[in-house]
Structure 1
Amino acid sequence: MTTATFLQTAKLLLTGREYLRVSQDRSGRMKSPGQQHEENQASADRHGITLLEPYAESKAVSASRYSTDTRDDFERLISDLRTDRFGADVLVLWESSRGSRRVGEWVTMLDLLEDRGKLVHVTTHGRTYDPANPRDRRTLLEDAVDSEFESAKTRGRIKRDMKASAAAGRPHGVCPYGYLPVYFSDRRGLDTWKPDPVRAPIIFELFDRLRKGHSFRAIAKDYEARGITNRKGKPFTQQHLRTMATKAVYAGYRAYLPKELKGTKGAKPELIEGTWEPIVPRDLFWDVQRILSEPKHQNKAPRPGRVLHEYTTTVRCDVCGGPIGVVNSTKSGEPEYKCQINSCVRILKAGVDEIITDAILTYLARPDVYEALTARSASVEAETAQAELARLRAELDKATSETPATVAEARMFARLVEDLTAKVTDAEKLVRELTAPGDLVALIEPGADVAKRWKAAPVSARRKAAAILLAPEHLGEVRITRSPLPRRRVPADERMVWRHAE
């Protein structure tokens, strides 16, 4: 007879330590650690067990083999058994599954209890087991097998429910900023989301301003000045705004990617029609995605300072081909364009700006220009190219974030990054060829005067549009020539050269 069996048979006073754990309660039927302790105490009193300090998890965590969370106090329990610091005669569990739903863990624990001559009391069974007793051990092992089987069945049911929910476009996960959760009448489950009357307009404004050419920096700064904060009461960062601007949920889509495909090369989520009301119209959402997919929006650090002039990045010196900057005239104090390389040319800024702006507005006001640009953006080929570009960029981001463990791996990642970079460059070129730049689409949206829209747009948006239009394939590259009469003022149009594609 083992020491543990002798103590139990002799009805001597035993000491016990509880292991208290509760999984995430989705049904309302599970016992909290406090409730478990109350029932454990009553059962321990009936069986002559004095409870000592318990092992208790500080958070809800699953004991199944599918869980990735760590049960700190369970690890402490096992460590104490191994080092003979358990300090009691009996391990008290509310039910067998509170210990573990993994057969391997359960066997390890029973072996340690047997080696140390300890008992197991299961409150819901109303009895105490001796792991050294073959019949008791078989009962406890059967409980472990049953618990693991139930866990596997539950996981399978949850996966089926998730797939069905995704196929139906039902909401899933944390309610996004801008929405409020709507529960079923019994509050046992999420029904849908509805736009938050306070925060939804903030989301719409974000997308609207991005289409109009506002930068994330400008929007974040404006939101902070107006006291608009995130859920934690902190100002929005540029990165946070960028992340929100890519969320399809705001256009009424549910993005679904099966868990087993996450991290798989080439895997991308499927967009399913959601059951909730969109905050952002679909055309606005896709316009913003086109804008964000353009090369100038991809992983480039913002230039310091504010953008003050529309044309300084596109107008060039016709002598050396260098960029044009803005300085004040030494005579009149008026702004002038000046070659930044060799000071080859100087010309009053106002006259040049007037001519360029008039040419741009005349071009954008043409109905055929709007039809041609928007028709390109809406094509199936354009959407396919954008999706492929997004996939390649995701692969490149993943490849560049990996930390190689060996020299061979480093060389492999280097080749992969080089290959993906080339493919991304080709894909970006194709997207540019197939789609209208989002900045232009926003400026020439029908139903509003182009001149008013141009004037209302921020300088950064006008600069982007100018960089696109003042190119050989559109209006032509603008260059400033030297004055034929150095000591006399020559009209701006006589010193401006428009270079077109051959």
Structure 2
Amino acid sequence: MTEIAQLLAGVYGRQSRNKAKSIDEQLDAGQAVASENGWKVSGTYQDGSSASRYARKGRDDWERVLADIASGALTVLILWEASRGDRTLTTWSQLLDLCRDKGVSIYVVSDERLYDPRKHKDWKSLAQSGVDSAGESDLISVRVRRGHAGAAAAGRPSHGRTPFGYVRRYDPGTGQLAGQEIDPDTAPIVREIFARIKKGEAVSTIVDDFNERGVKTSGAVKWYRVRVRDIAMNRAYLGQRVYNGSISEGIWPGIVDAETFYAVQRVLTDPKRVTTRPGRAVHLLSYLGTCSPCGASLTAVRGRYRCLDNGCVTIVQRDTDAFVENMVLEKLSRPDVYEQLRQHGVEDDEEVVKAREEIARLDDILAGWRLSAARHETTPASLAVIEADIAGQIRSAQRRADAAGVPPALRAILEPGADVRVRWEDAPMAARRRVVLFMATIVVDQAAAPGGRLFDFHRLGKSRWTGDPQSWGERWAGAGA
């Protein structure tokens, strides 16, 4: 009894999900056990995170427990139950081995028993508790995954952060999440984001405007581009639930309609949106027009477009913009072109989004095979065959994306019954630039004589309409212009 009275006890408490005993109750019970046995409590430890292998957060105090056992600061460890120690079988076994090596006993309050890991029967009993705890942890994980999958299949909202624009409903009897409803205060902000992106406005413009207006946000002090993009790409606003890549219809109402949602996805996933910088530019042809001699982009400098790389081309900006606008609007005003382009629908945008997702998936697969070849796991001959096959699938998906109707920015100008020129004037610059980008390739040639300041439309003769093999100059010549 003298030996036991000299034990130095460490009391460890951990909150376990769906368990009634709080950390404070566990620590109180452990200290009571130490007092009853005349043990000196040399340290208390507590963690609020899970002990299972599925845990995402670390357990700092558990690491302290192991360090104190290894250093000889403890001679007995008090746990409420074995599962409060570690639900991972390998690490629980390591604890038992450490305690056996250091001569540290383990007292389990729920068992009302002191175990000595140096004794075979005690070690075996504790090891079996570890097996049971690990098995329970796996069962809990399976139940949780099934619960999430079942909730997703039933269209119930996830238990994560409430999407901006909604408020949660809870069952008054059980306190369980029952659903979510549209928040009349914040839902209009969500609708505004979708409407403005669909119209062709840059995300950065929306962010600046929201911050200047002091528009309400959630969590952050101000709006950021990533926040606006996250909202604009969240299927929750279409009334849908996504779980492990699967999409199901939610039991909550959508804030935007399908046509608007898919139009916005098409805008945000357009690869040309990034490479041509259409959103930030404030001039019609900046980074869209190209220099004929060297192929560099044009940039606006003091009222003129200038070759960005070598300065080998300069042309009056105002007259060039006016000429290109007239060319585009005259083409859009033609009844045959107008009727052809205005055919659109939600199916077009959904097809484009799916095709681009397929391209991204194929790109990832191809990158994996190339990495495998670099590691000499795949032969060069096999890689060549695989590359050719995947490249063909990518081209097929790209053709589907290219064929699926006109971009949303152009549709805003092609609304039935409206004058095209009036809508052009009403459209933001970003939308006008997308129309030009979709309809034509603008190329500017050098001036016939150095230093010429007069605008000469023939310098745009190498420009061409999208999908048309003839340049503007060739068409002008054919028309006798």
TM-score (norm 2): 0.78
Counterpart in the other structure of 2:176: 189
**Residue 14 of structure 2: which of 15, 21, 24 is its match?**
21
Per-residue deviation at 1:361?
5.2
Judging changes above 3 Å, is the alpha-carbon distance between structure 1 residues 160 and 305 closer, same or farther for their aligned structure 2 residues?
A: closer
1:178 paired with 2:165, answer yes
Counterpart in the other structure of 1:307: 282
**Residue 119 of structure 1: which of 101, 105, 130 is its match?**
105
Give 3-state SS (helix, strand or coil) of 1:143's partner.
helix
Q: Distance in 1 between matches of 2:353 and 2:272?
A: 15
**Residue 402 of structure 2: which of 432, 435, 438 is its match?**
432
Counterpart in the other structure of 2:55: 67
Flag structure 2 segments of 5+ consecutive residues without an equivalent. Answer: 470-481
Counterpart in the other structure of 1:43: 33
Q: Distance in 2 between matches of 1:256 and 1:411?
A: 33
Aligned length: 458
CA displacement, residues 31-73 of structure 1 (integer Å, 9 cap, x when unaligned)? 232221122222332232232212322xx32212333543233
Percentage of matched positions with identical amino acids: 28
Question: Which of 284-293 and 99-108 deviates more?
Answer: 99-108
Counterpart in the other structure of 1:93: 79
Q: Distance in 2 between matches of 1:78 and 1:346?
A: 72
Q: Distance in 2 between matches of 1:74 and 1:357?
A: 69
Question: Residue 11 of structure 2 contacts residue 45 of structure 2 at CA under 8 Å; is this kept in 1?
Answer: yes
Give 3-state SS (helix, strand or coil) of 2:43's partner.
coil
Per-residue deviation at 1:346?
9.8
Q: Distance in 1 between matches of 2:79 and 2:145?
A: 29
Q: Distance in 2 between matches of 1:278 and 1:435?
A: 25
Letter in 1 for 2:356: L
User: Residues 292-331 of structure 1: matches in 2 within 5 Å?
Assistant: 292-298=268-274, 300=275, 302=277, 306-309=281-284, 313=288
1:204 paired with 2:230, answer no
Question: Which of 101-110 and 152-161 deviates more?
Answer: 101-110
Counterpart in the other structure of 1:247: 234
Question: Which of 139-148 and 403-412 deviates more?
Answer: 403-412
Flag structure 1 segments of 5+ consecutive residues without an equivalent. Answer: 258-268, 329-334, 472-476
Counterpart in the other structure of 2:22: 32
Q: Distance in 1 between matches of 2:29 and 2:202?
A: 60
Q: Distance in 2 between matches of 1:312 and 1:126?
A: 77
Judging changes above 3 Å, is the alpha-carbon distance between structure 1 residues 397 and 196 closer, same or farther for their aligned structure 2 residues?
A: farther
Q: Distance in 1 between matches of 2:130 and 2:447?
A: 89
Per-residue deviation at 1:394?
4.6
Per-residue deviation at 1:13?
5.0
Q: Distance in 2 between matches of 1:447 and 1:304?
A: 28
Letter in 1 for 2:148: M
Judging changes above 3 Å, is the alpha-carbon distance between structure 1 residues 223 and 396 closer, same or farther for their aligned structure 2 residues?
A: farther
Question: Residue 365 of structure 1 contacts residue 444 of structure 1 at CA under 8 Å; is this kept in 2?
Answer: no
Q: Distance in 2 between matches of 1:481 and 1:112?
A: 81
Letter in 2 for 1:390: E
1:159 paired with 2:168, answer no
1:378 paired with 2:347, answer yes
Judging changes above 3 Å, is the alpha-carbon distance between structure 1 residues 364 and 288 closer, same or farther for their aligned structure 2 residues?
A: farther
Per-residue deviation at 1:200?
2.0
Counterpart in the other structure of 1:264: none
1:52 paired with 2:42, answer yes
**Residue 362 of structure 1: which of 333, 353, 358 is its match?**
333
**Residue 389 of structure 1: which of 343, 352, 356 is its match?**
356
Question: Residue 279 of structure 2 contacts residue 430 of structure 2 at CA under 8 Å; is this kept in 1?
Answer: no
Question: Residue 310 of structure 1 contacts residue 459 of structure 1 at CA under 8 Å; is this kept in 2?
Answer: no
Letter in 2 for 1:389: R
Counterpart in the other structure of 1:149: 135
Give 3-state SS (helix, strand or coil) of 1:378's partner.
helix
1:271 paired with 2:267, answer no
Letter in 1 for 2:233: T
Judging changes above 3 Å, is the alpha-carbon distance between structure 1 residues 87 and 344 closer, same or farther for their aligned structure 2 residues?
A: closer
Question: Residue 180 of structure 1 contacts residue 195 of structure 1 at CA under 8 Å; is this kept in 2?
Answer: yes
Judging changes above 3 Å, is the alpha-carbon distance between structure 1 residues 344 and 41 closer, same or farther for their aligned structure 2 residues?
A: closer
1:460 paired with 2:430, answer yes
Q: Distance in 1 between matches of 2:10 and 2:321?
A: 85
Letter in 1 for 2:363: L
Per-residue deviation at 1:150?
1.8
Judging changes above 3 Å, is the alpha-carbon distance between structure 1 residues 367 and 303 closer, same or farther for their aligned structure 2 residues?
A: closer
Counterpart in the other structure of 2:323: 352
TM-score (norm 1): 0.75
Question: Which of 395-404 and 300-309 deviates more?
Answer: 395-404
Q: Distance in 2 between matches of 1:253 and 1:338?
A: 48
1:291 paired with 2:267, answer yes
